[in-house]
Each structure stands twice: as C-alpha cells, then as structure tokens.
Amino acid sequence: MPSTRATVSEEASKGKGSMREIEKGERLVVNINTNAGFRPFIADSREIEGQTYLQLDETFPEGAGFHIYRMAAGSSSQPHEHTCHEQFLVVDGELIDHDGYVYRPGDFVLLKKGTQHSSHTLTGATLAVFIREIERNL
C-alpha cells in the first residue's frame, strides 16, 4: 500500500494547476528519529562531547538558523551570551539552566538578546532551535 505522505490527494490538488511541481533537490526531508545527518557540535574549534545537531538550511552558519540540537544524558552546553534572540522547543528530555530553571517537553522558549547562560541535562534532550547568528562563548 503506497504511503499517503508520498501522494497528493484529489482534494488537495484542486485549484493547484498553476503551481509547478517541486523539483528533486528542492525538498529535503530527514526524520530526526533515525539519527541521519546529525553532526558533532563544534564550539571554539573543538567538538563538544555528547552534543550533535542537524541543520538542513546551509545558508546559515553551522549551528545557526533552524536546527535540531541533541544533548546526551550528562552533557552541558558551554556558557554563552546570545547575540540575538534564541527560540527553542523542547521535543524530548529535560534541560536545566545554570539558574536551576527546568525546561520540559513541550516548553517553547524565547531567550532574549544579551541572555547569558549554560544548560545541562541529566536525561538527554532534543531541541528544535532557531537562532539567527552564533552566540558568543564566555
């Protein structure tokens, strides 16, 4: 039986005759549950153990734009300052900020420009992150 994701229903295609088909290479789809495409997270020219990210839009620097960020259980982020607003959604796990605040699955967070923090996780965590530019490490 064909996947309904891979086909266009008759109802969905009504009125769309003037739209061109999406060409090969114009649509990138990666399932974050397969670990495909995750790369080690690099800060200050060194790989941060237990942290990986997946980024499809390479018009942004690595680790900026919209990306999926994973932290293994027991890992910590480097202390840093945001040079712009950062937004993230906790997909799974828990993340604990340096001030003790605990982010849980479903939390949608905005940390404003100038915010300084570091985070760690006891459980491991997956975040969907948007940040325009790389933060400044402290």
Q: How many CA atoms lie within 13 A of 18 on its CB side?
A: 1
pLDDT at 26: 93
pLDDT at 42: 85
Percent with pLDDT over 90 in the chain: 65
For residue 67, what are the contacts with CB-CB under 8 A and spacing of at least 6?
A: 53, 54, 55, 56, 128, 129, 130
CATH superfamily of 28-137: Jelly Rolls (2.60.120.10)
| pTM for the predicted model, two decimal places | 0.82
The two three-digit tokens of residue 14, written as one number: 């009504």
Domains of the chain, by residue range, sit at: 28-137
pLDDT at 14: 63
| pLDDT for residue 52 is more than 50 | yes
Question: Tens digit of pLDDT for each residue in 63-89?
Answer: 889 999 999 999 999 899 999 999 999
pLDDT at 44: 80
pLDDT at 2: 42
